[in-house]
């Protein structure tokens, strides 16, 4: 596994918008917070463009990201937001230069597309807050401060409270995953998850319960779930029923899908579309300990 260099004060970073359009003030405030951390910030030329739901045309979004990927003076790429559009952007990118000189890519949700691309090439990335979650009420969020520590080289262990649906056990493996809907959309493509021995993290937002069940059953039928070493379940925010109630909560649907397997499962991990949103080092080897007293997740390499 390749790990990009730690960030240092004075390093140059970029903010790009590869997916949904976003309010300029949110991104500019995010850039200001990064400058307060000592970074030099370069904004994507098309970061505030609008083309329907997207932050500019596919070619414009791809041009910004390509520039950030290829510029060796840029040490990290922060994504302004998710939404929808990252796969369309990805299809226009040339990763050749980046793969020779990897840098940090940071984001979550629709950005799961890029985490999948880096996982394919065994390069670490960060599932972490984007500009709208950098602060609340003009105060930096816990997730933002933890993200800064992680990018500087600190890899703290994360302890969370027990959950009644947890499955006890211990495991180690490479951390992969992200937004479940995006993982599902990549099935059958070159970015499809390679599950053997992985610890999978999943989260999602605004999906119907039956659709969540369909995604979990797809992972089960595709022999993904059976090959994992462990499962970490983050926020499932704003999940809902159709006209006919499904009869189970999001966590109950997930728990039922993994019932046949003997690996540890941790519910309620604080990452996803709510705060606090703890950063996760995707591609790192982690340890997962699930017990009656709680859950511990720690990084076991760089």
- Tens of pLDDT, residue by residue over 37-50, are 999 999 999 999 99
Q: Is residue 237 part of a domain?
A: yes
* pLDDT given for residue 92 in this prediction: 98
* Cα–Cα dist 119/103, whole Å: 14
At residue 300, does pLDDT exceed 90?
no
| Percentage of the residues of the chain whose pLDDT score is greater than 70 | 99
Counting the structural domains of the chain, the total is 2
Neighbouring C-alpha atoms within 13 Å toward the C-beta of 8: 3
pLDDT tens readout for residues 113-131: 999 999 999 999 999 999 9
Check whether residue 164 and residue 206 sit in a common domain: yes
- Mean pLDDT computed over 139-159: 95
Distance CA 136, CA 129 (A): 12
Q: Tell me if 79 sits within 8 A of 14, measured CB to CB.
A: no
Q: Do 116 and 172 lie in a common domain?
A: no
Is there a single domain that holds both residue 16 and residue 146?
yes
Listed residues 151, 176, 197: the one ending a domain: 151
How far is residue 77's CA from residue 4's CA, in Å, rounded to a whole number? 12
**Residue ending a domain, choose from 151, 174, 191:** 151
Q: Is residue 6 part of a domain?
A: no
Residue whose pair of structure tokens reads 């984007």 in the numeric block? 130
Residue 156: its pLDDT value, please?
A: 78
* Any domain includes 3: no
Separation of alpha carbons 80 and 15, rounded Å: 6
Structure-model confidence comparison of residues 243 and 227, the more confident one: 227
Average pLDDT of the segment spanning 166-170 = 98
- Residues 163 and 270 grouped into a single domain: yes
- Mean pLDDT of the residues in the chain: 97
Q: Considering the chain, what percentage of its residues have pLDDT values greater than 90?
A: 97
The answer on 176 and 246 residing in a single domain is yes
Q: Tell me: pLDDT of 233 over 80.
A: yes
Residue 245 has pLDDT above 70, yes or no: yes
d(CA 209, CA 217): 12
DSSP-derived secondary structure for 244-270: S--SS-HHHHHHHHTTT--S-EEE--S
pLDDT score of 302 more than 60:
no
- 132: domain CATH number is 3.40.50.10740
Q: Does 31 fall in a domain?
A: yes
pLDDT in tens, 215-230: 999 999 999 999 999 9
Taking the complete model, does pTM exceed 0.95, yes or no? yes
Give yes or no: residues 53 and 137 share one domain.
Answer: yes
Task: In whole angstroms, give the CA distance from residue 230 to residue 210.
Answer: 23
Give pLDDT, residue 283: 96
- Strand-pairing partners, residue 127, are 107, 280
- Size (the chain), residues: 302
Determine the average pLDDT of the residues in 14-39: 97
Domain that holds residue 101: 12-151
Going by C-alpha positions, the residue among 89, 75, 17, 83 that lies closest to residue 46 is 17
Say whether both 139 and 162 belong to one domain. no
| CA distances in angstroms from 294 to 33, 66, 131, 141, 169, listed in the order given | 33, 42, 31, 24, 11
pLDDT at site 299: 84
Question: Alpha carbon of 291 to those of 6, 58, 267: distances in Å?
Answer: 33, 46, 12
Q: Quickly list DSSP for 80-109.
A: S--SS-HHHHHTT---HHHHHS--EEEE-G
Q: Is residue 7 part of a domain?
A: no
* Whether residue 26 is found in the same domain as residue 98: yes
Dihedral over alpha carbons 42, 46, 49, 54 (to 10 degrees) = -100
Same domain, 265 and 147: no
Domain annotation covers residue 140: yes
Where residue 241 sits, what CATH number does that domain have?
3.50.30.60
29 and 129 assigned to the same domain? yes
């Amino acid at each position: 596994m390749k790990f990009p260099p730690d960030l240092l004060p004075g390093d140059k970073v970029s903010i790009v918008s590869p997916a949904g359009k976003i309010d300029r003030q949110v991104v500019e405030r995010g850039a200001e917070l990064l400058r307060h951390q000592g970074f030099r910030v370069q904004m994507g030329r098309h970061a505030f463009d609008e083309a329907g739901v997207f932050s500019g045309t596919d070619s414009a979004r791809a041009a910004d990201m390509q520039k950030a990927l290829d510029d060796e003076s840029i040490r990290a790429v922060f994504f302004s937001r998710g939404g929808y559009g990252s796969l369309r952007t990805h299809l226009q990118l040339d990763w050749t230069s980046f793969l020779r000189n990897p840098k940090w890519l940071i984001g979550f949700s629709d950005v799961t597309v890029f985490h999948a691309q880096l996982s394919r090439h065994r390069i670490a990335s960060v599932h972490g807050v984007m500009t709208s979650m950098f602060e609340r009420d003009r105060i930096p969020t816990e997730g933002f401060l933890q993200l800064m520590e992680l990018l500087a080289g600190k890899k703290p262990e994360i302890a969370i409270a027990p959950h009644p649906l947890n499955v006890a056990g211990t495991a180690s493996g490479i951390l992969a995953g992200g937004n479940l809907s995006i993982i599902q959309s990549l099935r059958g493509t070159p970015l499809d998850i390679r599950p053997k021995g992985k610890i999978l993290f999943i989260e999602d937002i605004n999906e119907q319960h039956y659709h969540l069940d369909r995604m979990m059953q797809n992972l089960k039928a595709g022999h993904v779930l059976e090959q994992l070493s462990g499962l970490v379940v983050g926020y499932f925010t704003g999940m809902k029923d159709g006209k006919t109630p499904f009869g189970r909560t999001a966590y109950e649907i997930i728990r039922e899908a993994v019932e046949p397997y003997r690996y540890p499962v941790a519910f309620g991990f604080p990452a996803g579309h709510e705060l606090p949103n703890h950063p996760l080092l995707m591609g790192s080897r982690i340890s997962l300990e699930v017990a009656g007293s709680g859950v511990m997740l720690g990084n076991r390499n760089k």
